[in-house]
Chain A
Amino acid sequence: MALVPISVAFSQQIGGRAGQAKIDAASVERRNQVYRPNCGFCHGLDARGAAGPDLARSLIVLKDVDGKELGSFLNSGRPEAGMPAFASLSPEQSADLAAFLHAKIEESRARSPIDVNAIVVGNAAERAAFFKGDGKCRTCHSPDTDFKGIGAKYDPFVLQGRIINPRGGRDGPSIKPSTVRVTLPSGETVAGRLVAVDDFSVTLINGSGVRRSFFRDNEVPKVEITDPYQAHMDNFLKITDKQMHDLTAYLVTLK
């Protein structure tokens, strides 16, 4: 049931590019000295393109290992496209250039962490219509009770996620369980806290703390679930980005 708060890609990558560019920090300056005077004028000091193309996205660079392919390309250039030949470039210099550019690739693709405070772009004062009206927030929440200090407890990123889905998120509080009522063919009903449900069984803990499980066969027995967060579920289909931004800005103020 736990939600992954941030969709960090599960690493499925082995070997490949990631393994080939061994960046030696000590020689960064030496590499800059090869890159800047030879390439920077056309490709930009950061190699991300100027008059010439972005070298971090260059297929020649991507496929290069230790400057070998790059070196032979540079030795002859691409005169028809305005790219001069660098005939005197040594294999060591090509390797330095390759190392410089592979570092640029890794730097450019990085998904650096988001500044969680920067996402607060809404207007707290404009939350009211949704908070008191359509969103039905006031039915359950108040700044004087459960929301007291919530802006100090969670960062804006988590707050925003929990406005949409209060059942997940980092550092979430204990979740209020759903309740369930099972009506057996005999007419007997069994009710309690919902533990688990799928298409073929339902499990609950009744008021006496006893765990009960039932098979399900299509609509038998009848299973009725009451979710304390139903209003949030209903909001999936109607909340706007502005309402979400304004609510986030408001909750942040409740320190």
Chain B
Amino acid sequence: MRLRLRTLWLAIMSVPVGLPQPQLAPELLGAPPVDAWPTYHGDYSGRHYSTLSQIHQSNVKNLGLAWLYRANTNAHGAETGGSVPEAVPIRLGPGALAGGLLKSTPLFVNGVLYFSAPDHAWAVDARNGKEIWHFFWKTSGGDHIGNRGLGMRRSWLYLETPDGYVVSLDAGTGKERWHKQIADVRAEYFATSPPIVIRDHVIVGVSGDALDVPGWLESRDPETGEIQWKWYTTPRAGESGIETWPDAYAAEHGGGMPWQPVTYDPDLNLIYATTGNPNPVYRGDLRKGANLYTASIVALNPDKGKMAWYFQSSPHDTHDWDAAQVPVLFDLNLNGQPRKLLAQASRNGFFFVLDRTNGQNLISTTFVESPNWFKGVDERGQPIPNPEKDSQLGGTLISPNNGGAANWTPPTYDPETELIYLNTAQGYEIHYQYKTDGPSFGSSGHISQAVGGIEASLRAIDPKTGKLRWVHKYAGTEWNPPRPEHLGGLLSTAGKLLFAGAPGGFLVAYNPETGRQLWHTSLDREVSNTPITYMLDGVQYVLAAAGDTLYAFRVQH
């Protein structure tokens, strides 16, 4: 008892006077996620790997439900903010807008979980799943396709909204501190991305390829919300890369939305951003050229927003394949040399490994068998699109389909197996371009017919060779494979475990060496976010969301 009182006294003494609680200690940002999961990726690397091993291959069979939390979207009792005076809350759950899914990867800081959905944010007690606060944003509109999570710095949370704002909340109370418009919903911009906090920068991106508008990534001041820099994803007149567009007008209307969170290498002081597809989406004839820097991986200085290098995953894309998939950072010995690497499994079916110091390409290969749209790779390792596979009046059979061979849900890199794991699909579509004259706009004059596909599978890729180590085909997915992001993201741990969602609404633990299933549980729907793990009171938890519900698991004795 004396010890507990003393602990309590120390805890009180350690609270700086005048600062609100709870605090995220700055040194936790970017550290291996153990007692905290303070950013979307856990750390900055995008590996979605945990050093925790209390849950391991021998006891994972005893994993059981600790608690669940069903997202409360009731405006009554919520903290509110908004861009309009009144709005009806967006519900979650089956039948709701955009499937009503919790796509958010929770943050875990000081025993509290913070997560979000379009127009909503929650704080939940990680010990029992009880809601601490609920924030509701009164929206003026926008695409409510999803919200992928929050950013945090000290006591402040950062939320992007479908109507194009970034909102700062007090993590202790859920009260709004300020909000700033980042993009105009009237031009059909929207925002889904978790802000990534790097020192005194809050990095936010925008979405929206409906109306041929420009895309950019920007940095905001974490205290005031004022803009620090803005990096357009396509060049302006006179800038490098403009030669890959017919003219400056086409580049300015060329899209390239960076709608996914960045990863970051503190030693190189570079952020790795990924950009969306060019506009107009399917009329490549109106934007002849490679269309830099759309569908690309770009390295930027986080203090200035200056580009260090780029690699284009889909030069001159004509199939709506953004390259927004996570750029995963890891270090490996290649031919006896330690290398700082970056890997991306891109929506178009290509797996790339780059030297992340300079963007030099080391591996370009397909990670599924179906992609049929390219002729080869160029001297930079970038795919060369086959113009015959552009949409045609008579129909062009294309794989991957719009869902991609991979999509936004994060893969995982396991430093013990030195493998990358991800959910994949081999879907097909017939693309038709039935209007080919005159100006285009967004996706006008184009339609696609979904024709199912071959399968969906969990794949282990060796980044040293680009070769597949193992493939686990999901039973029953032939003819109509699910989009990869509809199975959720992945997590690997030092317990020699790989966690992944599977079709049919399962959360599964695998042996990462072999792909053998070690444990599974049935959820209400397919895993809709990316599982995380952390230590709380000496117990390791695994969390995953499915539909409108967050589930917490621990070993049951």
Residue numbers of A with Cβ under 8 A of B are 1, 3-7, 10, 12-20, 48-49, 53-54, 56-57, 59, 62-65, 105, 108-112, 114-115, 118-122, 157, 160-161, 164-165, 167-168, 196-200, 202, 216-218, 223, 227, 229, 233, 236-237, 239, 241, 244-245, 248
Stretch at the interface among B264-272, B337-345, B394-402, B537-545: B394-402
Whether A16 contacts B504 by the Cβ 8 Å rule is: no
Which residues of A have CB within 8 Å of B449?
5-7, 157, 160-161
Which 8 pairs between the two chains have the least Cβ-Cβ distance?
A15-B141, A121-B394, A16-B141, A198-B504, A62-B187, A108-B441, A164-B451, A165-B451
Set B211, B434, B446, B447: member contacting A105, Cβ < 8 A: B211
Whether A200 contacts B211 by the Cβ 8 Å rule is: no
Q: A15-B139, A105-B211 are in contact. Are A241 and B392 (CB under 8 A)?
A: yes
Q: A62-B187, A200-B506, A218-B516 are in contact. Are A167 and B211 (CB under 8 A)?
A: no
- Residue of B210, B438, B449, B506 with most partner-chain A CB within 10 A: B449
Set A54, A198, A223: member contacting B439, Cβ < 8 A: A54
Q: A15-B185, A118-B434, A121-B393 are in contact. Are A197 and B211 (CB under 8 A)?
A: no
Q: Name the interface size band of chain B.
A: 35 or more
A251 to chain B, nearest CB (A): 13
Further pairs besides A57-B212, A168-B479, A236-B428: 8, Cβ < 8 Å: A3-B450, A12-B145, A13-B188, A167-B480, A168-B450, A199-B506, A227-B478, A236-B453
Set A10, A53, A62, A122: member contacting B213, Cβ < 8 A: A62
Q: A15-B141, A17-B187, A63-B186 are in contact. Are A198 and B451 (CB under 8 A)?
A: no
Roughly how many angstroms separate A49 CA and B212 CA in the complex, as a whole number?
15
Whether A20 contacts B516 by the Cβ 8 Å rule is: no
Whether B402 contacts A7 by the Cβ 8 Å rule is: yes
Which residues of A have CB within 8 Å of B163?
15-16
By beta carbon, the residue of chain A nearest B444 is A109
Q: What 0/1 readout, one digit per residue, does chain B (378-393) give for beta carbons within 8 Å of chain A?
A: 0000000000110011
Which residues of A have CB within 8 Å of B369?
237
Whether B480 contacts A3 by the Cβ 8 Å rule is: yes
B432 at the interface (CB under 8 A from A): yes
Show 19 A/B contacts (Cβ-Cβ < 8 Å), sorted by A: A6-B449, A13-B141, A13-B144, A14-B142, A15-B139, A17-B211, A48-B438, A56-B441, A108-B439, A109-B443, A111-B443, A119-B394, A121-B393, A164-B428, A167-B479, A200-B504, A236-B454, A237-B454, A241-B397
Which residues of A have CB within 8 Å of B394?
119-122, 241, 245, 248
Set B141, B426, B435, B451: member contacting A3, Cβ < 8 A: B451
Whether B211 contacts A62 by the Cβ 8 Å rule is: yes
Roughly how many angstroms separate A51 CA and B184 CA in the complex, as a whole number?
28
